[in-house]
Amino acid sequence: MTAQADFVPLNLCVLTVSDTRTADNDTSGDYLVLALGQAGHRLHDRVIVRDDKYRMRAVVSQWIADDAVHGILITGGTGFTGRDSTPEAIEPLLDKLMPGFGELFRAISFDEIGTSTLQSRAFAGLANETFLFCVPGSTSACRTAWEKIIQSQLDARTRPCNLAGLRSRLGER
């Protein structure tokens, strides 16, 4: 019988991408900070930036380069409007895409918002051994992503496998 893994707290960053959100009304970022803390993880940093791909890249690049950061949760900028540019900003920074995340998010979201889920460009990937999850800016979308996908994948106790358990092998060449 295999021994049960212990919970391993991770250092996570939260980035809110929005032209209108502030520290006073960032309910999506507030939700993610609360949820990751309740799950036993540590908030390493939190930033709100305008929907500008260069500002996003600057913040995320700094976090990716920091060995203390294990994961980044990005909310906002994943839609289809002219200002939505999170995928264009972040995907070039990724070493590997995680296509299953976006596919699963949209499949789960279909039960909640129907065909409107087609407008979501949610995605995830890996950069310099750091997991990145990019989800829509609504608080309900953040809740769906965290509670139904991300939380269990960042928990080393999730079976049969999880992203947290891969951390020790991410740098293998």
Grade residue 167 by pLDDT with cuts at 50, 70 and 90: confident
Q: Quick one: pLDDT at residue 125?
A: 98
Domains in the chain: ranges and CATH: 12-159 (3.40.980.10)
Segment 55-85, tens digit of pLDDT: 999 999 999 999 999 999 999 988 888 888 9
Segment 142-166, tens digit of pLDDT: 999 999 999 999 999 999 999 998 8
- Is 0.85 topped by the overall pTM? yes
End-to-end Cα separation, the chain, in angstroms: 30
What letter represents residue 123's amino acid? F
172 vs 78, higher pLDDT: 78
75 forms beta bridges with 16, 135
Grade residue 2 by pLDDT with cuts at 50, 70 and 90: very low
CB 37 within 8 A of CB 5: no
Segment 78-135, tens digit of pLDDT: 888 888 899 999 999 999 999 999 999 999 999 998 898 888 899 999 999 999 999 9
Strand order in the sheet with 42-49: 42-49, 11-17, 71-75, 130-135, 123-127, 96-97
Asked if pLDDT for residue 168 goes beyond 80, the answer is no
Token pair listed for 44: 């390493």
Q: Quick one: pLDDT at residue 148?
A: 97
